[in-house]
Amino acid sequence: MIKPHGSDELNPLFVYDSTANEALHKEAEGLASVLVSSATAANAVMLGAGYFNPLTGYMNKADALSVATDMKTTSGLFWPTPVLNLLQDSGSIKAGDRIALKDPNVDGNPILAVMDVESVEEFTDEEIALISENVYRPSVEEAHPGVDAFLAQGKVCFSGPIQVLNFSYFQSEFPDTFRTAVEIRNEISERGWNKIVAFQTRNPMHLAHEELCHMAMNRLDCDGLVIHMLLGKLKPADIPAPVRDAAIRKMVELYFPKNSAMVTGYGFDMLYAGPREGVLHAVFRQNMGATHFIIGRDHAGVGDHYGAFDAQTIFDNDVPEGALEIEIFKADHTAYSKKLDKVVMMCEAPDHTKEDFVLLSGTKVREMLGNGIAPPKEFSRPEVAQILMDYYESIK
């Protein structure tokens, strides 16, 4: 199986030994505690689940700035985005303290992790701007939800290793879907898959997405597909994770050969960081055991902040050779061809005009679903459309 990023073995930071976990919970009750941001909590979940391998905790200022400018830590580890624990102020906590991190996303704010604080530092406004500009590359003409979420966290940086005690709300709310990198690797091994392609999604999958997965599997001669959906925080108006989950499961049940696809999810908040987040997504997938990863049009993008294929070209221009073992399957925009009566990559149909494709904007699709109108069968499977129509009807 493909090696995880940066090490020979996966090193998740979750405390699996039940006795040790219980002892840490008891210890944490007597420690100073901080209520962290949703982004910091999601980072803890990803560290615990093994997706952030080989990191051992939150980055300090020097590593965060090095990652933002050069996509590597000060030790030389390739990494695309800072992994931070940012707060508005440090209170009485100082370097050398052992603290408990409390979960902002679960009632009662239970303890999520125990942290050994190695440093307490504050970013300057200029340093925060540098991270925003290099990682998110926001267009000045429009708001950027990822930048807004980043700026809201604060400028005080707690760095150091952590031990993760639970997976926040993800395991309880998505018991059939949330999987750690460890669990996905184990299932891949149990299925006997050797060549695996992963598909990232934060949306329901329409016919073009489905066919793109089939194309990738066929062209790469893969043993299996891992559909890996984001289960964390999104921007307003995005489809909630339970609805996406139901729609994707129905699609796989009806339109994929048995045992050819796994439907899974991971506990992270969307960054909307476009190219940088596309590289981070590739790190996740290598750590969970995928050998190939689909990067399509406007991957991890938002609004008009990025070019349609910036998340592909970053792998050619900015990811050093050998930095990652996972291979990228570059996909063009896919759509249903009226001429060929099937879904194709638009770049592979040079004799077509725009009118030869069934193209619907996201706004138009949401409008149709909200009015109880199913998109055409060339755009969405009817069974998937029905689940989405039921959702929109429920929120009227």
Q: What are the tens digits of pLDDT across the range 255-277?
A: 999 999 999 999 999 999 999 99
Q: What local confidence, expressed as pLDDT, does residue 191 receive?
A: 97
Residue 227 neighbours by CB under 8 Å, 6+ apart: 198, 199, 201, 205, 213, 248, 252, 261, 262, 263, 264
Residue 236 has pLDDT above 80, yes or no: no
Residue 140 has pLDDT above 80, yes or no: no
For residues 226 and 49, what is the distance between their CA atoms, to the nearest angstrom? 16
Tell me, yes or no, if 202 is annotated catalytic. Answer: yes
Q: What is the pTM of this model?
A: 0.95
Residue range 274-302, pLDDT digits in tens? 999 999 999 999 999 999 999 999 899 88
Q: Which residue has the tokens 């100073």?
A: 32
Return the DSSP state at 348.
G
Instruction: Decide: 266 and 228 in contact? Cβ < 8 Å.
Output: yes
* CATH fold of 176-394: Rossmann fold (3.40.50)
* Type and span of the H or E element at 293: strand 292-295
Please name which of 276, 278, 271, 305 lies closest in space to residue 38, comparing C-alpha atoms: 271
Among the listed residues 137, 203, 249, 366, the single catalytic one is: 203
Q: What local confidence, expressed as pLDDT, does residue 173 receive?
A: 92
Q: Could you check whether 18-171 and 176-394 share the same CATH topology?
A: no
Q: What local confidence, expressed as pLDDT, does residue 192 receive?
A: 96
Residue range 24-61, pLDDT digits in tens? 999 999 999 999 999 999 999 999 999 999 999 999 99
Domain boundaries, the chain: 18-171, 176-394
pLDDT band at 238 (very low <50, low <70, confident <90, very high): confident
Among the listed residues 191, 202, 249, 366, the single catalytic one is: 202
Residue type, 310: D
Residue 372 has pLDDT above 90, yes or no: yes
Q: Of 3.40.50.1000, 3.60.15.10, 3.40.470.10, 3.10.400.10, which CATH number belongs to 18-171?
A: 3.10.400.10
Q: Is 246 exposed, middle or buried (0-12, 13-18, 19+ CB in 10 A)?
A: middle
